A and B are shown apart, each in its own frame.
Chain A
Amino acid sequence: AQSVAQPEDQVNVAEGNPLTVKCTYSVSGNPYLFWYVQYPNRGLQFLLKYITGDNLVKGSYGFEAEFNKSQTSFHLKKPSALVSDSALYFCAVRLDNSGGYQKVTFGIGTKLQVIP
Chain B
Amino acid sequence: SAVISQKPSRDICQRGTSLTIQCQVDSQVTMMFWYRQQPGQSLTLIATANQGSEATYESGFVIDKFPISRPNLTFSTLTVSNMSPEDSSIYLCSVTGSNTEAFFGQGTRLTVV
Contact = CB atoms under 8 A, between A and B. Distances in A.
Nearest to B30: A101
A43 to B, nearest CB: 4
Nearest to A101: B31
Query: For the complex, would chain B's binding face be called helix, strand, loop or mixed by DSSP majority?
Result: strand
A94 to B, nearest CB: 8
Given A101-B31, A107-B42, A108-B41, A42 B106 contact: yes
A106 B104 contact: no
Interface residues of A, number: 22
A97 B104 CA distance: 20
Contacts of B48: 101
Given A34-B102, A49-B101, A104-B102, A44 B42 contact: no
Interface of A: 32, 34, 36, 41-46, 49, 51, 90, 92, 94, 97, 101, 103-104, 106-109
24 contacts: A32-B100, A34-B102, A36-B102, A41-B9, A41-B109, A42-B106, A42-B107, A43-B92, A43-B105, A43-B106, A43-B107, A44-B43, A44-B102, A45-B104, A49-B99, A51-B100, A90-B42, A90-B43, A92-B102, A97-B100, A106-B43, A107-B42, A108-B41, A109-B42
